[in-house]
Amino acid sequence: MTRIGILATGSYLPSTVLTNEEIARGAGVTDEWIVRKTGIRERRRADDQDATSDLAARAAQAALEQAGVGPQDIAYIVLATSTPDHPQPATASIVQHLIGADNAAAFDINAVCSGFVYATTVAERLLHAGGEGRYALVIGADIYSRILDYSDRKTAILFGDGAGAVLLGAVPEGCGIQETSLLTRGDQYRLISVPAGGSRMPITEAALETGAQYFRMDGRGVRSFVQENLPKALDELLQRAGVRHEDVKHFVPHQANGVMLGEVWPDLGLPEAKMHLTLSSYGNTGSASVPVTLDIAHRRGEFADGDTVLMAGFGGGMTVGAVLARWAPTAYSRYAEPALAAVGS
């Protein structure tokens, strides 16, 4: 069976920077408090005229340009987002139109902050089923600034806007995606939610008066969920793949909270791995955080051919997803690094 892997990466981060100082007062906290609790110093905010599809299309175009692949060659577009342009149609359909990928089947996946990993898993299976010589665009994109209550210090301080993308296709033997893992604990779905806007609670004046249209999160509950489920999921994934923990060279996690990642890191047992972090500069960009971080590391030349890369997402639902890959040769060296802001780790 032909192995499927990452051929190129791309990302888009809005130019508007939102510092801790700008949101601290409304949330009743300080810059020092935000950094101490999260490791985040700033994040990006989308322009008023942009929707999730606009950010997603720019990230997708960056990946296509890096690979030298035209949009007409794309067979599938799988977009992970929990902040779609509209309840319907699928935001992926709009992205297909924006980038001119007229031959692609396009659809959305909502696994909240695990979405990119879920979407990568689905796209890999579709490419295996569809035969050789086909490509898939997997995109993670979110504009959380549109659903935040900026007086809620538990959520307002965390999130930024952005999009990341990868191009999947056939890779040389020994490279590519080795194993994936998806987990959902629906019994804990109440830990993260946007209560209003669906069939359970439509947008009404009463809903708006209570702020039910905003993102809500039980921070302590989420932390406990991650500490309980992430190490176990990664252990099982590596065991199934026949890969030792010490053979993992790179860990690219969802950029949820730097302090939380620091707390769970020792329990993951990855002694030789570098944990890649971009949250200091970009915050938690939802389903975009893994592909954005992957793209930045890739364009910096941090992945060598054959390196074992472990990507992991976790978020609402509650969900955990992971992808284990051996890095394949890419077209990175043919393209100049884009003008990205310095990333703190």
| Residues that are catalytic | 113, 254, 284
Q: What are the strands of the beta sheet with 4-12, ordered from one edge?
A: 4-12, 161-170, 135-143, 74-80, 105-109
Task: Specify the pairing of strand 135-143 against strand 74-80.
Answer: parallel
Q: Which residues contact 244 (CB under 8 A, 6 or more apart)?
A: 238
Q: 91 with 56: CB under 8 angstroms?
A: yes
What is each CA distance from 322 to 13, 115, 234, 309, in whole angstroms?
24, 10, 7, 10
The bridge status of strand 135-143 relative to strand 161-170 is antiparallel
CA angle, residues 256, 257, 263, in degrees to nearest 5: 115
Task: Return the amino acid letter for 136.
Answer: A
How buried is 250 (Cβ within 10 angstroms: 0-12 exposed, 13-18 middle, 19+ buried)? buried
DSSP string covering 255-274: -S-HHHHHHHHHHH--TTPE
* Phi, psi of 111, deg, nearest 5: -120, 30
Q: Is 5 helix (H, G, I), strand (E, B) or coil?
A: strand
Give the residue carrying structure tokens 């390196």. 307
